[in-house]
């Protein structure tokens, strides 16, 4: 199976996906989001695949964020379309996939990367993992479900702190918060993810499908929250703070939000 910016492998009953933009720290762009949608769909439709493992290529990053250069000049309307289509095509799609997805978080999982990991059914992390939603430092908010899924996973107060500070937490703190289920050495990440996948693969796929739907149903009273996130994400693109934040990021300098 060949997909742009991905490596995909079938390992018995386990489907494995590597996001393969290592030089870009596996940053998400539209092309990669489309490829992930197609790869997940193909594996989900394969009756022999019982579990999917998703990770980033290389030791440095799961996904270090969205590709800022791709949307820095978007209008608020274009930004809302970006968030809406991305949520439908990948993040909501992954969360509701019938085949369980394990996110094996190696290195940075920031912005859209953490949002992608949170869309998977559960997460494990290597000791070098660093996770955060730094969007406020760009004058914008998370737009791929981060304002909704992070509070669900770690609680409102902790999520508020992470989102409003834009800071990162390490793997041990993520484990303490319940954001990840297990932490292991980087060299043991594949072994642990495969061991967990094999345990899941031995169970009833139809029962697991129903379990995923039942569990998700208990957390989806927040559909208006996802809609509000898309709208607010788009509104940020019409602000001077967004222009300053994205310009500073692309120019590799600290943004100046004073007096705005």
Which residues participate in catalysis according to the annotation? 115, 135
Give the closest residue to 125 by CA, choosing from 71, 29, 196. Answer: 196
Residues linked to residue 61 through DSSP beta bridges, in sequence order: 108
Which residue is associated with the tokens 């993992």?
A: 129
Grouping H, G, I as helix, E, B as strand and the rest as coil, residue 101 is: strand
φ, ψ for residue 40 (rounded to 5)?
-65, -40
Distance CA 79, CA 224 (A): 18
Distance CA 237, CA 247 (A): 12
Distances (CA, A) of 77 to 8, 89, 180, 239: 34, 18, 34, 13
Give the closest residue to 144 by CA, choosing from 112, 118, 174. Answer: 112
Strand pairing class (61-63; 108-110): parallel
Give the closest residue to 97 by CA, choosing from 249, 190, 213, 230. Answer: 213
């Amino acid at each position: 199976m060949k997909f742009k910016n991905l490596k995909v492998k079938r390992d018995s009953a386990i489907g494995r996906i590597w996001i393969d933009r290592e030089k870009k720290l596996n940053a998400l762009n539209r092309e990669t989001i489309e490829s992930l949608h197609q790869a997940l769909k193909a594996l989900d439709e394969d009756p022999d695949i019982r579990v999917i493992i998703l990770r980033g290529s290389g030791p440095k990053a799961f996904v270090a964020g969205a590709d800022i250069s791709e949307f820095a000049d978007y209008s608020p309307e274009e930004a809302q379309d970006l968030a809406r289509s991305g949520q439908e095509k990948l993040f909501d799609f992954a969360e509701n996939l019938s085949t369980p997805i394990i996110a094996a978080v190696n290195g940075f999982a920031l912005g859209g990367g953490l949002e992608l990991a949170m869309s998977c059914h559960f997460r494990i992390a290597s000791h070098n993992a660093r996770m955060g939603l730094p969007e406020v430092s760009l004058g914008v908010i998370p737009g791929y479900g981060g304002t909704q899924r992070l509070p669900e996973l770690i609680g409102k107060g902790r999520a508020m702190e992470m989102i409003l500070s834009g800071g990162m937490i390490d793997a041990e703190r993520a484990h303490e918060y319940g954001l990840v289920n297990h932490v292991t050495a980087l060299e043991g990440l594949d072994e642990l993810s495969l061991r967990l996948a094999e345990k899941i693969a031995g169970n009833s796929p139809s029962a697991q499908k129903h379990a995923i739907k039942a569990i998700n149903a208990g957390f989806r009273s927040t559909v208006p929250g996802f809609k509000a996130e898309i709208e607010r994400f788009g509104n940020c693109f019409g602000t001077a703070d967004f222009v300053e934040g994205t310009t500073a990021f692309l120019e590799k300098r600290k943004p100046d939000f004073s007096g705005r």
